[in-house]
Amino acid sequence: MMQDERGDHAEPDEREHDAPAPPCPRTPVARTSAVPPGAVPGYPPTIGGDARLLTDAELAASIEHTLVHWDRASDLWLFGYGSLIWNPGLPTVESCRARVMGYHRGLYLWSRVNRGTPELPGLVLALDRGGCCPGIAFRLDGHSAMPHLQVLWRREMSMGSYRPAWLRCMLDDGRDVRALAFVMRREAATYAGRVSDDVMRIVLARASGRYGTTHDYVARTVEALRANGIPDVALEKMLERCSSEGVRPATTAIVRGVTDAHSG
């Protein structure tokens, strides 16, 4: 049914599963830093002028190419590794802890609207090659999935920073499925690569956009991963090391046990 892959939310190349979510109950923190922008090499970044919104025709061609082997009826899987875990934004019929091999999660995508500004860009998660990545796999009802996938495409693919791919995904209950995931395109103008701790400290302290701060985005993801029993130790250590706020206590798990059928 699915094609092989070979084929970490308005500038939505940065929309890695990042749509508006209810505010988190926490004390507001002033977004200030003792280090002025530009004082640390690499920040603010120089983002190439070739970044642009894809046309409707380009978006349509992308989704058609990705779904060419899907029969529009069979259920399909979507792999979440960032804020899709705590804010799916689309109806699902099942969710399950899962893992993909050959990729890892990282703050590799500059965000200039949703979690930052052109002057003080934020960072959001993307999958990059190497390692493995635990996350949550969501099963979508095949008969009703297409309109939601089209919305997802506008959210994730509007600037083409991701490469939609069908990845082999091992579910926690032993099932082996193909799941749709959005992988970082290293040639994209908004690819950040690995940034220094000095840059990360400024981003976490200052970057804020339409949907909130980079710090809140990262902290929510850290919480959700830990609450679901799949903590990202590297991401937690980075947050502890680079943020004065550190890591918040875990809240209620989104996926209870191995699987949890739900909708909405």
The catalytic site residues sit at 156
Cβ atoms 124, 18 nearer than 8 A: yes
Cβ atoms 159, 53 nearer than 8 A: yes
Number of CB atoms found within 10 A of residue 247's CB: 18
